[in-house]
Structure 1
Amino acid sequence: LYGLVTATRYSMVEEQVKKALGDEFDLSQTKLRLPNGVEITNPLLAYEDILNSFLEVNLSTIHGDFNLENILIDPDTRDVKVIDFATVRQGHNLHDLLRLETEVITKLIPIAFNSAGLPSEIIRPFYNQLGRAVFGPGTHTDPQLPHQELDG
């Protein structure tokens, strides 16, 4: 069996980055200046190391399709039932919660904001307020990225 490698993961990503940013970017530089003037660390320089590294995560049994349509609520008794367990499997502990959060953000919050006459741009201050309500003022810190090369 013979084959010819025509592209690698890196060359394909590099091609997509050049399409997005334009040929005037020197992707071998440690810093990249984006069209909006923001300067970031060039993540492509650490690409291979990032792809070859492993992050330890906690796995558990997850629903796999935990979305609003699979949560049934009886309005009279307020009983909650979860349905559709066809995609149950081992997965990251946060998978189902992140999937549900995405559903809430993309489906419920826009309806609530629209009903209240609020613009969609209010989502960021809304989340900042939510963070302060949950964790208290001044306790928010930016998450630590597993690869410092990705920290702009």
Structure 2
Amino acid sequence: MSTIHATPGARTALTTTALNALASAAYVSAGTIDVSAQEPLDLIIEVEATPGTVAGNRQLMVFARISMDGTHFSTGPVSGSSTNEEPNLRFLGVLPLPTSAVLQRAMFSVAAALGFVPPHIQIVIKNDSGAALAASGHAVHHTSYVGTTA
């Protein structure tokens, strides 16, 4: 009987400057990931950010909007600061920002958060740190884990 292994793909950057100086309480889309050709078992999202002078909740909230076709995504905010549609976003996790001006990094499993890996996923980040993020030094990466047999 064959054994299935989850083999990691390459760590790939989402090319974005959207997090640079992101205002407190604001949402931003960090980009869209297309894994429709891979059909991965899991997709790991890595977020790194440097906060300004933190206060309040001291965190970034990481969400997803999902699509089966790459065109029609689930609803929810991708910009601005209105929280009216936040419940429509799919929650991936929180990146704690406990210390002002110190880079923080966290990874989030899409399969663990959603129960499946959609073919297309848009990463949405809300700055809930109490201050604008630093002017630069932020990144979002992703790594697919595909099934292989041995």
Structure with the higher helix share, 1 or 2: 1
Higher relative contact order (CA 8 A, sep 6+): 2
Largest Rg, 1 or 2: 1
Q: What range describes the TM-score normalised by the shorter chain of this pair?
A: under 0.3
How high is the TM-score relative to the length of structure 2? 0.19
How high is the TM-score relative to the length of structure 1? 0.19
Structure with the higher strand share, 1 or 2: 2
